[in-house]
Amino acid sequence: MSLTELKQKAQGCTDCEIGKIRTELVFGEGNPESPLVLVGEGPGEEEDKTGRPFVGRAGKMLDQALADNGLSRDDVYICNTLKCRACEEGENGRKRNRPPTPAEVETCRQWLVPQLAAIAPKVILCIGAPSSKNLIRADFKITKERGQYFPCEYAKTAMATLHPAYVLRRSTTSFDGGYSLIVQDIGRAWEAALKLLEKDESV
């Protein structure tokens, strides 16, 4: 199935509770021919409103980390573990984000797995823990194992990096919260993706 067909089908999905209350499904965007796919956790408030991945504060940081490597969103493909916003009732009737449940992650694999198969990237960069646990290993330890290459069923190799939302929570005036590690990991993942692409093309 093509990515366009898959997106259309996903837009009709109400297989879990968050699929029933979403504003927009956030399928993914960027260059589907790219050798590098970035997989985040799931949409937040801004993403749910716009239907686009990583457009809130965390997204701005991700854009900056791509730019610091001379890259833009058009060079990579960006999507999420969950296609709908995991949220619950907060104060003043406003919804607040919550971590995805294992059941939601499992249900949403019906979209993520064929999406990755259609793109067939050389490298997957998992952004944050839920993505790493879903695509690399269930007991993946993000702070210890980020920045390393791991085997992955859906690409030649996979790496994980810190989630920008985590970095934003930790950063202070004198500490970047781990931002430089995101920049470094994106750079290394991109380099590996280009090398693997070259290798395939030179055969």
Interface residues with ligand URA (CB under 6 A)? 40-44, 47, 53-54, 56, 58-59, 80, 165
- Nearer to ligand URA by Cβ, of 59 and 121: the residue is 59
Residue that the structure tokens 């085997």 belong to: 151
- Nearer to ligand URA by Cβ, of 97 and 156: the residue is 97
Radius of gyration of the chain (CA): 16
State the residue number with the nearest CB to ligand URA. 40
- Nearer to ligand URA by Cβ, of 49 and 137: the residue is 49
> Count of CB atoms within 10 A of residue 63's CB?
17
Q: How far is the CB of 39 from ligand URA (least distance, A)?
A: 9
| Beta strand ranges found along the chain (DSSP E) | 29-30, 36-40, 77-80, 87-89, 95-97, 123-127, 157-161
- Nearer to ligand URA by Cβ, of 133 and 156: the residue is 133
> Count of CB atoms within 10 A of residue 75's CB?
16
- Nearer to ligand URA by Cβ, of 9 and 57: the residue is 57
Q: How far is the CB of 68 from ligand URA (least distance, A)?
A: 19
Q: How far is CA 125 from CA 37, 115, 146, 149, 188, in A?
A: 6, 15, 10, 10, 10
Q: How far is the CB of 12 from ligand URA (least distance, A)?
A: 21
Q: How far is the CB of 196 from ligand URA (least distance, A)?
A: 25
Q: How far is the CB of 195 from ligand URA (least distance, A)?
A: 27
Cα distance between residue 67 and residue 69, in whole Å: 5
